Chain A
């Protein structure tokens, strides 16, 4: 038994396929979905989403806020800004992270902090380290 998983951003479908487990971080904490999970709607924070397909490498995505809906063995993840690990340019992300760290040192407004958090997540996801 598997679930149908869709990771959708406004501009395109990032991932669509069968999977046996989805791990996400809602604003309350980490949550994992397995087959037969009760219907669920949650708001996602900034964090990783891990999709484990049947017999294959995990698909990791950086999700910067969004929503997850689970019902009838269908997992739908909606996110304004989401990137698959394989699509992240590590060097660019690293540069953005360095830049962000320098900026927040100078002035830590909310926007700079948010940008830093995004950059950190990107590097984390792309680098494969948690």
Chain B
């Protein structure tokens, strides 16, 4: 029985070890991806900053901020939510956090008597909300890992369509901010209408230059604002991707640590079981050997084997006598 237990433990340790190998590999992959994702976040920043500055200058230079994308609706009857999370799990609470925040926001909007619309980026958000019977207006998968600008453009196009057609009166973006490799936070940002105060504040310092426009400022703004929305969404998606990798690295690191601990614990139990088995075996051998050696050495043993029948029964004594003679 002892040997059987040892075998079971050995098998268990082996399976934990192979799991550990997988989690370790995932940890390393995620770690290397964080760096890349972070670089992409940084690389996307100049464009976002510059496009914001251009819009600011445009506004300061006389383009009336009258685009439908800029004007808040008087009554908000339907709020659109864009949830940005991952396609894959195994990233700790990363997906759950975004999904929970989105769900809470939806419930809050409903409590205020507003309708909601939902646009999901990432398979996890899609499956969660579909399973719970939420209506999903659009969902995008296979882009959360390494979002390209083209992906952001597609999502932004879907959002803009819903907003411009008057379906959504307001759009909220829920994603994970990448503050540092150690800290990521779920954030909810107003995505549409675009906050015109934010734009005006970023106009280049100094006296408002007298800009020439080609074509007219209104036309440029009309073409620029969708790009601005795309750039913002792209930045959010890049941050979300970096956060995803950071969350996955952390989750996989603790999984690896746990596996290591479990292996140590199990091998300790296994060694004890093996030692027990060996001890029992030795005891058996020693006991057996002792018994044998005692049997050979003692004359007045209980097992009397040198007494013949003639010693016990008188009638046999004569017979024995005759035999001897």
Q: Is A11 an interface residue (CB 8 A)?
A: yes
- Report the nearest B residue to A16, measured CB to CB: B46
| Interfacial chain A residues near B220, Cβ < 8 Å | 41-43, 67
Q: Are A38 and B212 in contact (CB under 8 A)?
A: yes
Q: Are B214 and A10 in contact (CB under 8 A)?
A: no
Q: Are B214 and A31 in contact (CB under 8 A)?
A: yes
List the one stretch of B15-23, B54-62, B184-192 in contact with chain A: B54-62
Name the one of B53, B206, B231 contacting A10, with C-beta atoms under 8 angstroms: B231
| Interfacial chain B residues near A6, Cβ < 8 Å | 46, 50
| Interfacial chain B residues near A67, Cβ < 8 Å | 51, 54, 220, 223-224, 227
| Interfacial chain A residues near B57, Cβ < 8 Å | 39, 41, 69, 71
| Interfacial chain B residues near A28, Cβ < 8 Å | 214-215
- Report the nearest B residue to A39, measured CB to CB: B209
Q: Are A78 and B211 in contact (CB under 8 A)?
A: no
Q: Is A27 an interface residue (CB 8 A)?
A: yes
| Interfacial chain A residues near B43, Cβ < 8 Å | 11-13
B153 to chain A, nearest CB (A): 7
Q: Is B148 an interface residue (CB 8 A)?
A: yes
- Report the nearest B residue to A29, measured CB to CB: B214
Interface residues on A, range: 20 to 34
Q: Are B211 and A40 in contact (CB under 8 A)?
A: yes
Interface positions of A from 50 to 69, Cβ below 8 Å from B: 67, 69
B25 to chain A, nearest CB (A): 28
**Complex Cα–Cα for A9 and B230 (A):** 12
Q: Is B47 an interface residue (CB 8 A)?
A: yes
**Interface readout for B201-217 with A: 1 if CB under 8 Å, 0 if not?**
00010100111111101
Interface positions of B from 268 to 325, Cβ below 8 Å from A: none
B89 to chain A, nearest CB (A): 27
Task: Name the prevailing secondary structure of the A interface residues.
Answer: strand
Q: Is A89 an interface residue (CB 8 A)?
A: no
Q: Is A104 an interface residue (CB 8 A)?
A: no
Question: Would A80 and B215 be within 8 Å (CB), given that A8-B46, A13-B43 are in contact?
Answer: no
Q: Are B44 and A40 in contact (CB under 8 A)?
A: no
Interface positions of B from 24 to 77, Cβ below 8 Å from A: 40, 43-44, 46-48, 50-51, 53-54, 57-58, 61
**Complex Cα–Cα for A9 and B149 (A):** 9
B126 to chain A, nearest CB (A): 25
**Complex Cα–Cα for A41 and B50 (A):** 12
| Interfacial chain A residues near B178, Cβ < 8 Å | none
Q: Are B211 and A41 in contact (CB under 8 A)?
A: yes
Q: Is A124 an interface residue (CB 8 A)?
A: no
Interface positions of A from 81 to 123, Cβ below 8 Å from B: none
Q: Is A76 an interface residue (CB 8 A)?
A: yes
**Complex Cα–Cα for A26 and B209 (A):** 20
Q: Are A27 and B40 in contact (CB under 8 A)?
A: no
| Interfacial chain B residues near A39, Cβ < 8 Å | 57, 61, 209-212
| Interfacial chain A residues near B213, Cβ < 8 Å | 40-42
Q: Are A10 and B149 in contact (CB under 8 A)?
A: yes
Chosen A-B contacts, 11 in total, with CB atoms closer than 8 Å, are A8-B46, A8-B50, A10-B231, A39-B61, A39-B212, A41-B217, A67-B220, A69-B53, A71-B57, A78-B47, A78-B51
> Which residues of A does B touch, CB under 8 Å?
6, 8-13, 26-28, 31, 38-43, 67, 69, 71-72, 76, 78, 80
> Which residues of B does A touch, CB under 8 Å?
40, 43-44, 46-48, 50-51, 53-54, 57-58, 61, 148-149, 152-153, 204, 206, 209-215, 217, 219-220, 223-224, 227, 230-231, 234
